[in-house]
Structure 1
Amino acid sequence: MKKAIRFKRKPLNINDITIIDDHKLRKAIIAAALGNAMEWFDFGVYGFLAYVLGQVFFPDASPSIQVVAALATFSVPFLVRPLGGLVFGVLGDKLGRQKILSVTIIIMSLSTFCIGLIPSYATIGIFAPLLLLLAKLAQGFSIGGEYSGAAIFVAEYSPDRKRGFMGSWLDFGSIAGFLVGAGLVVLLSSILGEVKFQDWGWRIPFLFALPLGLIGLYLRHALDETPAFQQHTDKLDNNERTNIANPPQMTFKEIFTKYWKSLFVCVGLVIITNVTYYMLLTYMPSYLSHNLHYRADHGVLIIIAIMIGMLFVQPMIGLISDKIGRRPFIVVGSFGLLVLAYPAFMMINSDVIGLIFIGLLILAVLLNCFTGVMASILPAIFPTSIRYSALAISFNISVLIAGATPTVAAWLVEASGDLYMPAYYLMVVAVVGLVTGLKMNETANKPLRGATPAASDRSEAKEILSDHFDSIEQKVEDIEQQIDTLKKQRQDLVDQHPKLD
């Protein structure tokens, strides 16, 4: 029998720990967050303009059907997001994160800009909603690689002990983009008046996407590739590095077989986070104005106030997660959503402004529990070589489910006449989040999977190295105790047998 060859692993030393340049880290966060902000800028504008877009592009339908149709146009592009995730994910693992993120922001900004140029149904008939759908599909395709790539970009640039805090700024950008979009809608509608705003003023927010996209492209193009991806390419042998566009790749079957638990965690986290997100920030404005009959601008102002509060909570949760871990926030947030969703909607339906605000605030804080840690969890559960493709595909398949939330919620309320249907919807999703939180492994203060540790400076690198050696010593001690216990058990068995000694 041939004896297996054992290769001795080299001890980790101070030079193996990546020191992250603080200036480059800040630039990476701004560049990534800006693209994410633009994505949610469009979501915010679209969600708050659903009633106007319904009148512009679906004028022959009843008011209820107009809202559902406009929200359906919002949801349909999620069908192509997995395709975008597949294309950009594979390319991101081959060519690098920086190049792909430059492409996605170009497509995203141009498609959003084009929505502001589409003539109304009254002008070109059926071609108006078809062009709107085409623009939304282009958005969906680009967004398929945007969030996953941005989360990976920030995570691979971040020190291990600060990844939660740094990652939280990505969804800070989401909330800020949504807030700017909603605020712009309110500002323009108040300045122009309802008639002018519905006639042509609604186009202005979409046109803002082009200059925002150009700024984002400039910032992303000026950045270097992430340290983790550079390490990955450096490990390839000379032959592979000469053909870096075609490194050895895992098949999707191998990814599903080997990393099924990571895929499960990704799907669960994305569903709980994005269903809550779309319910609160995309569907609720229409719910308040259409179902509860508040003036559209009143509902918008309440949501804007809630979102401003979310901006302050978001980085705090990321910072605390670096101290106590990410899992507690997923578990507590999911359990809170399970038990508080119905009471929150009781307050929202109370017809008392103060209680409406508290009900929405409860949902917002619970949403912060997810958004504050998701961007730091997801990139950490896949190795560098497949991180972009595995995360982008699983993320966007999950978003495909979550993206139907505004449409399904609106339909459920219309079909049943029950204003508490959104609460039941959130309670069901909360169970998914709770199971995910209980099953996932903690990722806080650990290197990205398959990567060497990363530190802010050499002093922190020395601490990480010391902690690493302490961990090894503790594991060796635990193994020695297990060996002693096994020896005692063996001796007890030997003593009971006359022919063993």
Structure 2
Amino acid sequence: MAEKIKKRFGNRNKSETQLHKDDITIVDTNVARKAVIATALGNAMEWFDFGIYSYLAVTIGMVFFPALSGPTQLVYTFATFSVAFLVRPLGGLFFGMLGDRLGRKKILSITLVIMALSTLSIGLIPSYASIGITAPILLLVARMVQGFSTGGEYSGAMTFIAESTPDKKRGFMSSGLEVGTLVGFIAGSGLVTLLTFMLGPEKMLAWGWRIPFFIAAPIGLIGLYLRNHLEETPAFKAMEEQEKKNKSQQRTIKTILFYHWPQILKGLIIVFFYNVVDYMVLSYMPSHLNAVLGYGETKGLLLILIVMLIMIPIVLTIGYFSDRIGKKPLIIGGLVGLILLSIPSFKLIGSGSNLQVFFGLMILSVLLAAFLGTMPSLLPSLFFTEVRYGALAITYNISASLFGGTTPLIMAWMIKVTENRMVPAYYLMATCLIGVVAMSFVKETSGRALRGSAPAVEEKHEIADILDEPKEALWWKEEKAKLDERVDEDKQE
């Protein structure tokens, strides 16, 4: 249980930087671990669906778009996948604002239920051969409902974990969220690979493709049970206590965009390069191997499955080191690595040799791990507690919708137009160049308190060291004072 007494520092004069031991949160690590598991399971659910859809992209194209073929069919399949991302900002806006008002826990339970039901419904849709054009329309509706719910899911999960963990372990424990991503994707892709091997192409096309979608329901029930047994985050509870005593600034979309736009802009660019790399490697690559390179479907799926299994300990290791050397060096290292190695990686992937394809995929995956192990703790740290969920949901989902979920569609279309298989490598390089510039404007916050919150520690003996350097402990105080001054000046005008 998080041990929290009154948050006094929020009521003092803005120019003061004082801190008392009762201001500091002592986090029970066992409770923090439960929070990581419960939130990671929801993320696993989201990526279980992504894994299914990506690995069944060719089959889904045949079921719902039988009049088309080859790359064109793949474009339509990924267009249906990508269109769900158009409603993600709406879902993020809706659930994010509610999360800052009602609490993180309640909203995360709601998004998980909607996500599970919408994934289940895809498996129930009749084929184009049975009901004609209604089939792809229903698929589109189901994907849009998924997009709306996931709009509040991932940003809420990042917020919940970041606010539930000790400052010095936030990177490592938050990286568990992306372990959920990989486990979900592995489960989805592994299941598709197994079914493809056992049933064969004909039965998979006839009915086997539906099975993975049916499994969403029990996963959702387990996740809902775990989330309902969590406590609200210490940071949110402390903020509620403070707001009961003081009239707080009303949180609206307008105030978030007007006063927090510098952090939102940084977040948009960070999420841009993060999602492009993420969706390129995990969502697009299976279809690239199969439809573009003509690589054996089962062989390609199995190869990527092995790569993702290897990634799990790498992501946790990156998270561990991010608490010790900082997140920025690791992220910039990953960006520079992709700029230098994207072309060699895609040449290896296009070689046709099993070993070379594996090494090409591993290079991209290790560099992606530099982001997976750091982003879940970096992104929530950009915003103050009172707007964290809402601002992060807006930031993440706008950028993910424009650049992340559309990556498979853009790649399929660009390869079709240019007939150049190296287009994905060039796209990655350009994206990462922008990322290097953006990261130079991001403040390192590893091992420090979240913006707007008191320090969070694991052991009581850590409190003495924090009290010796209150200005460092409340490093965000000056930034908050300037923000409050702007708000006050605008009110007077």
* 2:346 matched residue in structure 1: 345
* 1:22 matched residue in structure 2: 29
Distance 1:8 1:414 in 2: 59
Distance 1:10 1:411 in 2: 55
Q: Is the 8 A contact 2:166 2:458 kept in 1?
A: yes
* 1:296 matched residue in structure 2: 297
Q: 1:6 to 1:204 in 2, by over 3 A?
A: closer
The residue type equivalent to 1:39 in the other structure is: E
Q: What is the correspondence of 1:56-205 to structure 2 with a 5 Å cutoff?
A: 56-205=63-212
The residue type equivalent to 2:422 in the other structure is: Y
Structure 1 length as normaliser, TM-score? 0.89
Query: What root-mean-square deviation, in Å, do the aligned CA atoms of Structure 1 and Structure 2 show?
Result: 1.7
Distance 1:185 1:302 in 2: 13
* 2:384 matched residue in structure 1: 383
* 2:263 matched residue in structure 1: 262
* 2:408 matched residue in structure 1: 406
Structure 2 length as normaliser, TM-score? 0.91
CA apart distance, 1:260? 2.5
TM-superposition CA deviations, 1:413-443 (whole Å, max 9, x none): 1111100011111111111211122111001
Gaps of 5+ in 2: 1-11, 475-493
Q: Is the 8 A contact 1:182 1:300 kept in 2?
A: yes
Distance 1:470 1:322 in 2: 16
CA apart distance, 1:460? 2.4
**1:445 aligns to what SS in structure 2?**
coil
Distance 1:471 1:169 in 2: 25
Work out whether 1:208 is the aligned partner of 2:208.
no
The number of residues matched between the two structures is 462
Work out whether 1:230 is the aligned partner of 2:237.
yes
- Of 189-198 and 98-107, deviating more is 189-198
* 2:287 matched residue in structure 1: 286
From 401, 417, 420, the counterpart of 1:418 = 420
From 448, 451, 455, the counterpart of 1:449 = 451
CA apart distance, 1:235? 0.2
Q: Is the 8 A contact 2:88 2:397 kept in 1?
A: yes
CA apart distance, 1:203? 0.5
In percent, how many aligned pairs have the same letter? 50
* 2:436 matched residue in structure 1: 434
CA apart distance, 1:382? 0.6
Distance 1:460 1:12 in 2: 14
The residue type equivalent to 1:185 in the other structure is: V
Distance 1:7 1:430 in 2: 39
Q: What is the correspondence of 1:318-337 to structure 2 with a 5 Å cutoff?
A: 318-337=319-338
**1:254 aligns to what SS in structure 2?**
helix
CA apart distance, 1:467? 4.6
Distance 2:243 2:254 in 1: 23
CA apart distance, 1:62? 1.8
Distance 1:103 1:471 in 2: 35
From 443, 464, 467, the counterpart of 1:465 = 467
Larger radius of gyration: 1
Q: 1:234 to 1:259 in 2, by over 3 A?
A: same
Q: 1:381 to 1:469 in 2, by over 3 A?
A: closer
TM-superposition CA deviations, 1:47-87 (whole Å, max 9, x none): 00000000000001122221111111110000000000110
Distance 1:166 1:10 in 2: 29
Distance 2:157 2:67 in 1: 40
CA apart distance, 1:198? 1.3
* 1:315 matched residue in structure 2: 316
**2:421 aligns to what SS in structure 1?**
coil
Distance 1:206 1:170 in 2: 22
Q: Is the 8 A contact 1:347 1:359 kept in 2?
A: yes
The residue type equivalent to 1:352 in the other structure is: S
Q: Is the 8 A contact 1:89 1:145 kept in 2?
A: yes
Gaps of 5+ in 1: 241-246, 473-501
TM-superposition CA deviations, 1:150-178 (whole Å, max 9, x none): 00000000100000001100011001100
CA apart distance, 1:261? 2.5
The residue type equivalent to 1:92 in the other structure is: G
Q: Is the 8 A contact 2:454 2:473 kept in 1?
A: no
The residue type equivalent to 1:292 in the other structure is: L
**1:173 aligns to what SS in structure 2?**
helix
Q: 1:127 to 1:101 in 2, by over 3 A?
A: same
CA apart distance, 1:190? 1.3
* 2:490 matched residue in structure 1: none
The residue type equivalent to 2:461 in the other structure is: S
